[in-house]
Amino acid sequence: MCLAAAVVYGLPLNKTNVNAVVVEEHLATGDLSLPDGFMFGSSSAATQIEENNTNTDWWWYGAPEADGSLGKLKNPVGDAAMSYSMTSEDIYLMKAMGLNSYRFFHRMGSRLAEWPKRQL
């Protein structure tokens, strides 16, 4: 589980205008105010969910060649990301931290950047 430690204040983000304020800086000054309805959560990505599933693209690309894959990643994920088997523990931790949202990624389109409206 990854916790994004930045609060974005409704201003456009771009390469020259990063309008994110790191939460720790505000906590140090005691100046942390969030708008009503603000959702603070965590997120995960496919490689964190798939674990050591040998049927996934990430495993085939990154696991050691000795295991039958391409061995392209310097540091394979291994046991570090086990969100699939530790879902209950992750949900407990999110609740314990007071988070009110969770984002997980799943590319729904059959082609890169294609998002079928019926699946959204």
- Between 120 and 96, the more confident residue is 96
CA 80 to centroid of chain Cα atoms: 14
Beta carbons of 42 and 3 less than 8 angstroms apart: yes
Report the C-alpha gap between 53 and 82 in whole angstroms: 10
46-101 pLDDT tens trace:
666 767 666 766 666 666 676 677 777 666 666 667 777 888 888 888 889 888 88
- Number of domains making up the chain: 1
- Mean pLDDT, range 38-53, rounded to an integer: 75
User: What's the token pair of residue 96?
Assistant: 């314990």
What range does the domain containing 46 cover?
2-119
Query: What is the pLDDT, as a whole number, of residue 84?
Result: 77
Phi and psi, residue 104, nearest 5°: -125, 150
Query: What is the pLDDT, as a whole number, of residue 1?
Result: 37
Beta bridge partners of 101: 41
- Mean pLDDT, range 3-20, rounded to an integer: 38
Beta carbons of 108 and 115 less than 8 angstroms apart: yes
